[in-house]
């Protein structure tokens, strides 16, 4: 971290000046997994909306953490819009992949989409951090985050930093932990 400290100094300076670095993040996952709800939760409380409707196409949301300014591409997860995802892979500097832990039936579909994502030429050879949210932990028979990572074979992702968090987007549990990890990853990536 010795090499990191001048950067940290710059970050502090930038933060002090109110200038934060922009990061483009893609938020992906099947329909009804909670992507929009999670992004909504991460926004400042005065900007949050009350009712979440299924996203059509995609929407762009912004929120800030202590040192970074996130621009999130909240992609629609519906089957007919999933072919839009790949057009945004180039711009993305990080990926948030949301999984409905209670939907055991469609875990194979989530795995299929994840595998397609990881094998896409725009993603395959980049060391892009991936944050997994095993969402809907509040549902009674939801799978644990360990079980979800097993079913998605996350242990096979060797060339990219990844992290899985058990979350409940309705209450906001677990979200901050994930975003902190992502922020650290993006910072180490730049140094």
Partner 1 sequence: MYLQVSAMSSGDSSGDGGKWLDAHYDPMAGLYTFSSCVDLAELSGDGESRLLVGDLGSGSAGMKLKVYRGTSLTSESTLLDLPSGVVAFFMDLHEPRIPAVAVASGPCIYVYKNLRPYFKFTLPSLQVNTLEQDVWQQVREGQIDPLTLKEMLESIRRKADVPLSMRSLRFLSLDPDEMDDYVQLHKQQPIRRQTVITCISTLKKSTADDDGVSCLVIGTESCDVYVLDPEAFIILSKMSLPAAPSFMDVTGQFDVEFRITVACRNGNIYILRRDSDKPKYCIELASHPVGLVRVGKNVVVGCTDESLQGFTQKGKRLWRTVLAAPITTMAAMDLPTRGFQAVLLGLANCEVQLYRDKNLLSTIKTPDVVTSICFGRYGREDGTLIMTTRAGGLIVKILKRTAVFDDRDGAPGPPQAQSIRLNVPKKTKLYVDQTLRVSGESGAAMHRAFQMDLSRLRLAAAKAYVKALESSLTPVSSSLSEPLKMNAVVQGLGPTFKLTLNVQNTAACRPVMNLAVSFLYDESLYRVKNPFLRIPLLVPGLIYPIQTFVECTSDKGIADIIKVFVLHEGRSSPLLTAHINMPVSEGLTLN
31 marked ligand binding residue:
yes
For 22, phi then psi, to 5°, come to: -85, 135
* Strand arrangement, sheet containing 68-75: 58-64, 68-75, 21-29, 94-100, 130-135, 162-166
Residues 6 or more apart from 119 whose CB is under 8 A from it?
Answer: none
Region 13-32 residues binding partner 1, contact defined as CB under 8 A: 30-32
**185 included as an active-site residue:** no
Stretch that binds partner 1, among 11-19, 64-72, 103-111, 180-188 (CB under 8 A): 103-111
Maximum pairwise Cα distance, the chain: 49
Is 80 a binding residue for partner 1 by CB under 8 A? The answer is: yes
Q: Is the dihedral of CA 37, 39, 40, 45 positive or negative?
A: positive
**51 vs 155 by CB, closer to partner 1:** 155
Is 156 a binding residue for partner 1 by CB under 8 A? The answer is: yes
For 94, phi then psi, to 5°, come to: -155, 160
Is 135 a binding residue for partner 1 by CB under 8 A? The answer is: no
**116 vs 191 by CB, closer to partner 1:** 116
Among 116, 144, 188, 191, binds partner 1 (CB under 8 A): 116
55 marked ligand binding residue:
yes
User: Six-digit token pair at 37?
Assistant: 């709800």
Catalytic residue chosen out of the listed positions 78, 93, 176, 183: 78
Region 40-79 residues binding partner 1, contact defined as CB under 8 A: 79
In the annotated binding site for Mg(2+), the residues are 36, 55
**Residues that are catalytic:** 78
């Amino acid at each position: 971290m010795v090499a990191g400290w001048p950067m940290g100094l710059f970050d502090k300076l930038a933060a002090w000046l109110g200038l934060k670095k922009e990061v483009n993040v893609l938020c992906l996952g099947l329909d009804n997994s909670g992507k929009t709800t999670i992004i909504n939760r991460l926004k400042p409380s005065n900007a949050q909306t009350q009712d979440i409707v299924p996203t059509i196409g995609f929407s762009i949301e912004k929120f800030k953490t202590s040192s970074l300014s996130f621009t999130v591409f909240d992609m629609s997860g519906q089957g007919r819009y999933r072919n839009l995802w790949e057009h945004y892979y180039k711009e993305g500097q990080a990926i948030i992949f949301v999984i409905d832990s209670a939907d055991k039936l469609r875990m194979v579909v989530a795995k299929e989409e994840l595998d397609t994502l990881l094998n896409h030429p725009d993603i395959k050879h980049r060391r892009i951090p991936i944050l997994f949210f095993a969402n809907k932990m509040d549902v009674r028979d939801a799978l644990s985050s360990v079980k979800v990572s097993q079913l998605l074979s996350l242990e096979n992702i060797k060339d990219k930093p990844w992290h899985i968090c058990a979350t409940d987007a309705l209450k906001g549990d677990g979200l901050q932990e994930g975003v902190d990890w992502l922020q650290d990853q993006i910072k180490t990536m730049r140094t």
